[in-house]
Chains A and B, each alone.
Chain A
Amino acid sequence: MPIRNSVAATLAAIAIAIPAARAATSLSEAGGRYTISQAGSSIRFSIGKTGGGSLDGAFARFSGNIRVDNASADRSEVNITIMPASVGTGQGRIDAFLRSDAVFDAANDPEIRFRSTSVRRTGETSATITGNLTARGKTMPEKFQAELKSFRGGTITFRVTGKVLRSRYGMDVGTPIYSNVVEFDMTLSGRRG
Chain B
Amino acid sequence: MALLIGNTQARYGWIAILLHWLIALLFIAQIALGLAMVRMTSQRSAFELIQLHKSIGFLLLGLVVLRLGWRLANVTPRLPAGTGLLERRAAPIAHFTLYALQFAPPLTGWALVSASVLEIPSMPFDLFVMPNLPVPVSDASEAWWGATHAYLAYAAVGLVAVHALAALRHHFWLGDTVLVRMISPSRRCDGDKPE
Contacts and interface: CB of A to CB of B under 8 A. Distances in A.
Interface of A: 49-51, 53, 91, 93-94, 96-97, 100-102, 173-174, 176-177
Interface stretch (B9-17, B117-125, B159-167): B117-125
Interface of B: 42-44, 47-48, 51, 117-121, 123, 126, 129, 131
B44 A102 contact: yes
The B contact surface, by secondary structure, is loop
Contacts, number: 38
B119 A102 contact: no
Contacts of A94: 118
Contact of B126 (A51, A96, A176): A176
Given A53-B119, A102-B47, 7 more contacts: A50-B123, A91-B117, A97-B43, A102-B42, A173-B48, A174-B47, A177-B123
Contact of A173 (B44, B117, B129): B44
- Of all A-B residue pairs in the complex, the 8 with the closest CB atoms, nearest first, are A102-B44, A51-B129, A102-B43, A100-B43, A51-B121, A177-B123, A173-B44, A97-B43
A178 B112 CA distance: 19
A176 B123 CA distance: 9
Given A91-B117, A177-B51, A177-B123, A50 B44 contact: no
Contact of B118 (A51, A93, A101, A176): A93
A102 B48 CA distance: 10
A91 B43 CA distance: 16
Nearest to B119: A53
Contacts of B126: 176-177
Contacts of A174: 47
A49 B122 CA distance: 11
B4 to A, nearest CB: 42
B180 to A, nearest CB: 44
